[in-house]
Chain A
Amino acid sequence: MKDVDGQNPSAPSDPISAWRLRAIFFFFSAGFIYVAVGLGYRQLAQNDFLTNQSDNQSRRVVIRPPSRGKIFDRNGYVLVDNRVRWSVKADLLALQPEFRKEYLDLLNKEKARFPDRRPDYDQLQQTARLNVLNAWLNKIWFVIDSTNQKAAKGSAKVKSTPDLHPEERMVHPDALRKHLNERRALKFPLILDLAFPNSGHAVTPEEGNRAVARFIEQFPVHGPITLEADMVRSYPNGKLAAHVLGYVRDSDILKGQLDDVIEDEFVNLQKLGYTGKKGADGIEATYNEVLSGRSGWELWTKTSSGYNKDLLKLSAPVQGANVTLSLDTKIQKSAEEALAKIVDSQGKPLPAAAVMLDVNTGEILALASQPSFDPNEMADRVTQIYFDQVNADGGWLNRSTQGLYPPGSTFKLITATAGMRANKIDWDDILDCGPSYMVGGRAFPEHEPSGYGQVDLEKMLAVSCNVWNYQVGLRTGPENLAKEARRFGLDTPLLRKPSEHDNHSTTELPNPATRMVVPDRAYKQRVAGEAWTDGDTANTSIGQGYLLTTPLHMACLAASIARGETRTTPSIIHDPGRDGRHAGAEPIGLTTPQLHALREGMVRCVEEGTAKSVRIQGLPYAAKTGTSEYFKKGEKAHLAWIVGYAPADNPVVAFCVLVEGQLDTSTWGGKTAGPVARDMIMAWQSAAEEK
C-alpha cells in the first residue's frame, strides 16, 4: 500500500486509475460549471469595479462650518458656549449593499403580488432605503434605551430617553429624500443630537450622557453607523440675558464668501456644505462677523451616484473670536429673578424691563426684559410651536431697548432741571400745591386727594407732587421742556457701534428704538394737526402725553444726573480702557445748591418718599419713582417706573426698572418696580464687596 501510494501514481494498469479518471472528469465538469457561473458573476462585479474606477476621477469640495466664538460677561463668566453634540449618523455609501438587497426583495415581492403591473422603481428604492435605515434606527434606540438592560428585581427603572411616538423614532421620509437630493455625499443623521433625541425635547445632561455612553460601549465599533461629535451653540444659563445674547439659526454656508477660504485650484469644483449657523438676534446677530470664524473645507473623490468616497485633503475651520460683554452675571441674574416675581392675578409674569449701568463708563451691567425665551430651544432648529408661543407672549421684544413708554413721574427730574435752568424756579422756592390745578379750564389732579401743601424741590421729588410740576412746566413753557429733554438725549438713538466697528450691523444690539418722542408745538401740529395747549404742557411736565422713551434712556438719564452731566453713552461691550467720556455730554448747567437739591430730593424719595418701601439699610441711594398711564390693547393701564443711582454720595451704578401693569390700578412705581431696583443694587453691592 505504501509503495503504491508513494510511487508512480499514474501506472495505466492500476485498477484505481479508472476511479481516478472518473473523479477527474467529475472534478473538471464541476470546475467548468463553476467557471461558467463565475464568469457571469465576475462580469457584473468587474463592471461595478470599472464603473467605480471612473467615478473616482471626479472630486468635490465639502465646506465645514467653524464653531462660533464664545461670549463672556465682564468677569470672564461664560454666557454663551459651544457644547459637544453627539449625533448618530449613517454612512449611506457603506449601506448601499443593504439598500440593494432590500430593494431586490421588495421588487420580487411586488412582482409576485402584481405580476402585470410595472412597479414604481423609484418608490421601491425609497422604501428600501427607509426600511434599512429604520431597522438600524430601531437597533440604536434599543441599545440606548437603558430599560432594555434588565436590572435586579424590584429596582426602579428609569428611561434614558423620553417616550417617543413610534413615528418619532423613525426616519422621516421627506428628510431622507431631501438629504439624498441635496447632500447625499454626507452622512445621514439618524439621531441629530442625543441630548435632544426628539426635536425640542431635551433630556437631562445625565440622560444624554447615558445615551452616548450606551451607544459607544454597546453598539458595534465597525459598521455603517457612526457616532460623531461636533460643537453646537449652548447657552449654559438658559434664559439669562436672552435678549442681549440672542440666538442662532441655520444658514447656508455656501452663500458666504468662499473664494478666500478654498485653495484656488479647487474653487471651481462642485461644492457641498454642512449646515452653518448665523446669529439671528442679540449680540449673536450684531457681532455675527466677529463670532463666526472661518469655514474649513475637505476635498473628496465622489462616486457616480454622488456619494463621497475618499478624503484627499482638508483644511480645518477656524473658530470665531470671543466677545466680552459688559454684563455682570450676578446683577443680571438678580434682575431677572426679581422681575420674575412680578406676576399678574393668574401668576403669569408681567411684561417688564430692568437696566443697570456703570455711572462713569456707561457700560451696561444688566439688561433684562420680560417675558423672555430660551435660546437653547433655538440653537438647533426653530420649533414653530416654541416660536409661536414666545411670539404670543410678546417675548421677542427687548423692552429695555426697544419698548417705548411714557416716562411718567420720572420725567419730573427734567421738568425741575428745565425750570431751574430757565430761572423760573429755584431749589428753595416753595409752591402751594393743592389737590388739583386748573389748566385751560380743566382740573389736573394730584395723586394725593388732599394735596401736599407747601412743596419745595426736594419734597416734590420725595412725594412726586404733580401740582408743583404743572406750575413749573407752565412757567417754563413747552419749548424749554422739549429742549431740556433733548439735551439729556431722550430722543437720541442709543447703542451705536463706534465707527471702526461699522460693518454688518451699526448697532450693538439689534434694532434699538429710534422713534422716541419729545413733543413740542411742531410735533403736535404734525401728528394731530392741532395747536399745542397748556394742557399738553401740563401733561408733558409730569411725563405723560406724547412723551415716549425707553428704559435704557431713563437709566442713562439717571447716570447723567449722578455725574452732573447731560449725556451717557451706554455700551454692552466691555472695554477696560474706557475713559468715561460720553458723546455729546456737557455739564448739567445747574448751580451747586440746585444740583444738590435735585440729588437730595431723590435720596429723600427713598428715605421717606414714594420708594420708602424699598430702602436698603446702610446703603442710601437716590431714586425717582413714576406711575404713568398708557393704553394697552385700547384699555388704560399703569406703568410702574423707578430710576436712580447708588450709592447716593458716590454714585457707581444707575438703574431703571419698568413694569407694564395690568388693567387695574394695583401697579405703583415704588411698590411694583422698586423691589427689582433694590435687588439689583444689593446684587451689585455683594459683587463689589467680593472684589
Chain B
Amino acid sequence: MSLSWAWLFLLLATFPWLLGVDLLSDAMAASGVCLFISGAAIIAPCRRLRRWQAVLFSGCVGFLFESLRPIPDGSVALLLVFVAIYLTSHRDAIRDLPKMFAAAVVVNALACSAWFIAAGLAHTKEVPLVSLHFLGQWLLHLLLATILAVLLLVPLTLVQNFAMDRIGVPQPDEAV
C-alpha cells in the first residue's frame, strides 16, 4: 500500500468519529448546542504524517464539517490547515500525552471559535454579534469543545495510531 494515500485511509478511520459526534449533536438537538471534535481529530495525525499529508488530512476534516453547515466555505478547513502546518513544524509541542492534551484543547477550542464566529458572521442579519447572548453561546460551545477534546482524544488517538501503524506510517520520532 502506498504511503501517499495514508492521509485518506486515516480520514476513513477518523470519519466514523466525526459522524458519531454529529449523531450525538443530533440526539442533543433540543438543547441547541453543537458538539465539535474536528480540531482534536488532527492532533495525532500531525505527530506522524508528513506535512503535506497532514495538511490534506486537516483540510478534509474541516471541509467535511463545513459541507453540511451553512457557514462561509473554508473558514474551519483553512484554519485547521494552518494549525496542521504549525504542528508539523513544531512536533515537540505534541511529543507526549500531556502536551497532546493541551494541544487538543487549544486546537479544538480555536477551530470551534472559528466555526462559531464564521457562522455568526454569515448570519449577521439574524445574529446580534455584539451581545451577551452571542458571548454566552460561544462560551458554552467552547466549554463543550474543550471537554469533548479531553474526553475523546485518547480513544481517537488510539484508533488513529492503530490505523497509521497498519498503513506503516513511521513513529513520531522517526518522522521528525
Contact = CB atoms under 8 A, between A and B. Distances in A.
The short answer to whether A and B are in direct contact, CB under 8 Å, is yes
Interface of A: 1-2, 5-7, 222
A222 B70 CA distance: 13
Nearest to B4: A5
Contact of A7 (B2, B168, B174): B174
B172 interface: no
Nearest to B2: A1
Nearest to B125: A222
A7 B170 contact: yes
B125 A5 contact: no
A5 B3 contact: yes
Listed from nearest, the 9 A-B pairs whose CB atoms lie closest are: A6-B170, A5-B3, A2-B3, A2-B168, A6-B3, A222-B125, A7-B174, A6-B175, A5-B4
Nearest to B175: A6
How would you classify the secondary structure of chain B's contact residues: helix, strand, loop or mixed?
loop
A673 B128 CA distance: 67
A6 B4 contact: no
Contacts of B4: 5
B141 interface: no
B50 interface: yes
Contacts of A1: 2-3
Contacts of B169: 6
B164 to A, nearest CB: 12
A6 B170 CA distance: 7
B168 A5 contact: no
B174 to A, nearest CB: 7
Contacts of A2: 3, 168
Interface string B114-131: 000000000001000000
A663 to B, nearest CB: 67
Interface of B: 2-4, 50, 125, 168-170, 174-175
Contacts of B170: 6-7
A222 B2 CA distance: 47
Nearest to A4: B3
A7 B48 CA distance: 12
Given A1-B2, A6-B175, 14 more contacts: A1-B3, A2-B3, A2-B168, A5-B3, A5-B4, A5-B50, A6-B3, A6-B50, A6-B169, A6-B170, A6-B174, A7-B170, A7-B174, A222-B125
A6 B3 CA distance: 8
A176 to B, nearest CB: 25
Contacts of B2: 1
In the complex, which of the residues B3, B50, B168, B175 has the most CB atoms of chain A within 10 Å of its own CB atom?
B3
A1 B3 CA distance: 9
A601 to B, nearest CB: 77
A5 B174 CA distance: 12
A569 B174 CA distance: 108
A331 to B, nearest CB: 52
Contacts of A5: 3-4, 50
Contacts of B50: 5-6
Contacts of B3: 1-2, 5-6
A131 B4 CA distance: 54
A119 B169 CA distance: 66
Contacts of B125: 222
Contacts of A7: 170, 174
Contacts of B168: 2
A1 B6 CA distance: 14
Nearest to A5: B3
A7 B50 CA distance: 10
A5 B175 CA distance: 10
A513 B169 CA distance: 104
Contacts of B175: 6
Contacts of A6: 3, 50, 169-170, 174-175
Contacts of B174: 6-7
7 contacts: A2-B168, A5-B4, A5-B50, A6-B169, A6-B170, A6-B174, A7-B174
A1 B5 CA distance: 13
A222 B125 CA distance: 9
A110 to B, nearest CB: 36
A310 B169 CA distance: 54
A5 B4 CA distance: 8
A607 to B, nearest CB: 75
A2 B170 CA distance: 9
A593 B31 CA distance: 89
B52 to A, nearest CB: 10
A23 to B, nearest CB: 12
B88 to A, nearest CB: 13
A169 B168 CA distance: 69
B121 to A, nearest CB: 13
Contacts of A222: 125
Nearest to B170: A6
B22 to A, nearest CB: 26
A1 B4 CA distance: 10
B89 to A, nearest CB: 14
A2 B174 CA distance: 13
A5 B169 CA distance: 10
A222 B123 CA distance: 10
B91 to A, nearest CB: 14
Nearest to B123: A222
B54 to A, nearest CB: 14
A624 B3 CA distance: 114
B157 to A, nearest CB: 20
A1 B2 CA distance: 9
A427 to B, nearest CB: 83
In the complex, which of the residues A1, A2, A7 has the most CB atoms of chain B within 10 Å of its own CB atom?
A2
B8 to A, nearest CB: 15
Nearest to A2: B3
A437 to B, nearest CB: 87
A2 B168 CA distance: 9
B143 to A, nearest CB: 31
A7 B174 CA distance: 8
Nearest to A222: B125
A2 B50 CA distance: 12
B166 to A, nearest CB: 14
A27 to B, nearest CB: 13
A49 to B, nearest CB: 16
A7 B175 CA distance: 7
A313 to B, nearest CB: 14
B70 to A, nearest CB: 11
A5 B6 CA distance: 12
A112 to B, nearest CB: 36
A132 B154 CA distance: 57
A658 B6 CA distance: 101
A193 B168 CA distance: 70
A1 to B, nearest CB: 8
Nearest to B168: A2
A444 B90 CA distance: 124
Nearest to A226: B125
Nearest to B169: A6
A149 B3 CA distance: 56
A7 B171 CA distance: 11
A5 B168 CA distance: 12
A597 B19 CA distance: 102
A286 B3 CA distance: 90
A600 to B, nearest CB: 78
A5 B3 CA distance: 8
A232 B152 CA distance: 60
A1 B125 CA distance: 54
A2 B4 CA distance: 9
